Amino acid sequence: MHDTNENLEARRSAPTGAQATSNKNQTDVALGKGLDVGTANLAAAVTNEDGSVTVNVERNAFLDINSDVYSKNMLTKLKVPYVVHNNKLVVIGEAAFELANVFGKEVRRPMADGLISPNETDALPMMRLIISKILGEPRQQGESCYFCVPAPSIDVDNNVVYHEGLFQSLIAKMGYNARSINEAHAVIFSELAEQDFTGIGLSFGGGMVNACVAYKSIPCLSFSVARGGDWIDKNVAHVLGTKKSKATFLKERGVDIRDPKNREEEAIAIYYRNLISYVLQNIKARFEGGQNMPSFQDPVDIACAGGTSLVGGFIEVFRDEFSKIDFPIPVGRIFRAEDALISVAKGCLVAAAIGE
Ligand SMILES: Nc1ncnc2c1ncn2[C@@H]1O[C@H](COP(=O)(O)OP(=O)(O)O)[C@@H](O)[C@H]1O
Ligand SMILES: [Mg+2]
């Protein structure tokens, strides 16, 4: 008997109804999938037969519980899906968050700061479970799956090569032709198709911010900073003397960082501004210091995506910080992706469709 409770439905399935822009004139749009491997969320994008795109999102988290009759009964009664791993009952994704809240426990997270967590020995098998659930099996052996990887960070010494290799092999073992794409490059693929994939893509995630400058789809500069939503939460919690989860709650509750209403919101606004300015300063410095950079004659757009860009007033504060620096490239529109949480997954799908 298989000790798995079926009915593992995706938490947030967001049919966008929109065809990935670059697929318009292709007839073989159906094959190829996109996978966003994020610290906070995993998202898989697939083109349906009618040309619409479905993105399945699941929290990158799990909770393990002792395997005894009492716990099994409890999970069954609560209708919480679980699997058995190393003699423990494991609940994955959003369900893990809900259960953790009920029992006052902390979920375990397979990734930290944009990469597979070195402190979490169960990270890979747990991520394999979540990825299988949202990505499904290849519709054809060797169907391509483009998954995102961060660029090396400028502020910490992290091992992107190891991380990329692990997921390359995990996705390949599932029967896909696994190809990696830089996370911010994926934002350019999903948001800047009309600009001929020229411009700046920024992914403000939980663990990192990734930046990419591309000219006609070719990246000429990409880097990441190991600061993102988690970094804001950690610092806010530190200066206010509260728990990190409280800071996350306050931040996601609906703060407007242009107009903080109290001491907590003030702290959130300060770290947001600092993060945005830090990213902009680094694009400027790297662009000016880089060799063989293209000269952009026409203004380029800046597209922001990722959960951290969802806070109220984000784009306005971004524009404000932008106006304070002498940016090396002429810039046109600065905007947030319409669906900021699933933009990277959609970009990976576009990359898969056009074979990059
Ligand atoms: N409405 C919101 N306002 C501010 N931050 C948010 C909001 N919703 C989610 N976030 C933050 O977005 C981050 C997760 O974004 P995501 O792009 O999924 O990250 P990752 O790429 O690291 O998986 C978390 O830090 C979360 O707190
Ligand atoms: Mg991300």
Atom 8 of ligand 1, residue of closest alpha carbon: 307
How many angstroms is it from 74 CA to the middle of ligand 2?
Answer: 34
Instruction: Evaluate if pTM is beyond 0.85.
Output: yes
Which residue in this structure is represented by tokens 């409770």?
A: 5
- Which residues, in sequence order, are bridge partners of residue 85? 88
Give the integer Cα–Cα distance in Å for 114 and 310.
18
* Sign of the alpha-carbon torsion through 156, 162, 166, 172: positive
Residue 237 has a pLDDT of 95
Domains and CATH numbers, the chain: 12-192+343-354 (3.30.420.40), 199-336 (3.30.420.40)
115 lines ligand 1 (CB under 6 A): no
**Closest ligand to residue 115's CA:** 1
81 lines ligand 1 (CB under 6 A): no
Residue 356 has a pLDDT of 47
User: Is the pLDDT higher at 294 or at 75?
Assistant: 75
Give the integer Cα–Cα distance in Å for 131 and 257.
34
Give pLDDT tens digits for 201-249: 999 999 999 999 999 999 999 999 999 999 999 999 999 999 888 899 8
Q: For residue 132, what is the DSSP state?
A: H
Atom 24 of ligand 1, residue of closest alpha carbon: 206
How many angstroms is it from 94 CA to the middle of ligand 1?
Answer: 14
Contact between 101 and 63 under an 8 Å Cβ cutoff? The reply is: no
Give pLDDT tens digits for 78-91: 899 899 999 999 99
41 lines ligand 1 (CB under 6 A): yes
Which of 310, 341, 344 has most ligand 1 atoms within 8 Å of its beta carbon, as the pocket-test mutant? 310
Cβ-based neighbour number of residue 78 at 10 Å: 12
Give pLDDT tens digits for 243-300: 888 899 899 999 999 999 999 999 999 999 999 999 999 999 998 988 878 889 999 9
Q: For residue 55, what is the DSSP state?
A: E
34 lines ligand 1 (CB under 6 A): no
150 lines ligand 1 (CB under 6 A): no
Residue 21 has a pLDDT of 37
Residue 4 has a pLDDT of 35
Residue 293 has a pLDDT of 83
Nearest to 161 by CA among 150, 170, 171: 150
Ligand 2 ion: nearby residues, β-carbon < 5 Å:
38, 205
Give the integer Cα–Cα distance in Å for 306 and 272.
14
